[in-house]
Amino acid sequence: VLKQAGHECVMFDQANPDTPNDIIIDQINREQRHLKYLVNAAGTFKPTPFLDHTKADYASYLELNKSFFFITQAVAGNMKRHGGGAIVNTASISGLLGDYAMAAYNASKGAVVNYTRALALECAPTITSPLAQPFETQLSSCRRIWRRRNPRRSQIGAPTVIPRTVRAFSPVARPYTRS
């Protein structure tokens, strides 16, 4: 949707060791163009009972979200220098409600939810920062588990909704929206 509207889009994998965050952040800080939008849609999912989690499991969830914290910081700096923008973070509904065999994941996504609230307060009014959730994952195994364990949650947004959410919170739409 954003590309169709004439916007240049760059996508990268925050968990990929071949694209270290320091290089990405340095590139963002050197960028002279106005970065108008940022969508953080990072996640990994490995159902593990609480008593079976290892330090490495927990660290992997936290490391992924730490990466988008600092990337967001760099992009927000660019947006502030250029007059504003929109940052949309995605998180799982598990950040609000607990799920079985997902304690580390729940904690990580809960951190994203509260981080987004803080970001919205600190960056307003020039940068909007809504939280878009829940979104269905492309991983069919996760989708099956999620639906089986959460039959009461019937409204799940498809990944294609994310670009429309970004446009809804764009600087043009800002007077009509709230974070």
pLDDT (tens digit, 9 = 90+) per residue, 51-108? Answer: 999 999 888 888 888 878 888 898 999 999 999 988 888 887 778 877 788 899 888 8
**Does residue 105 carry a catalytic annotation?**
yes
- What is the dihedral sign for C-alpha 137, 139, 144, 148? negative
Sign of CA dihedral 97, 100, 103, 105: negative
Given 37, 58, 100, 105, which residue is catalytic?
105
Residues near 19 by Cβ (< 8 Å), separated by ≥ 6? 12, 13
pLDDT tens track for 107-152:
888 888 898 889 989 998 888 887 765 555 554 455 565 566 555 5
Is the pTM higher than 0.85? The answer reads no
Structure tokens at 33: 């163009």
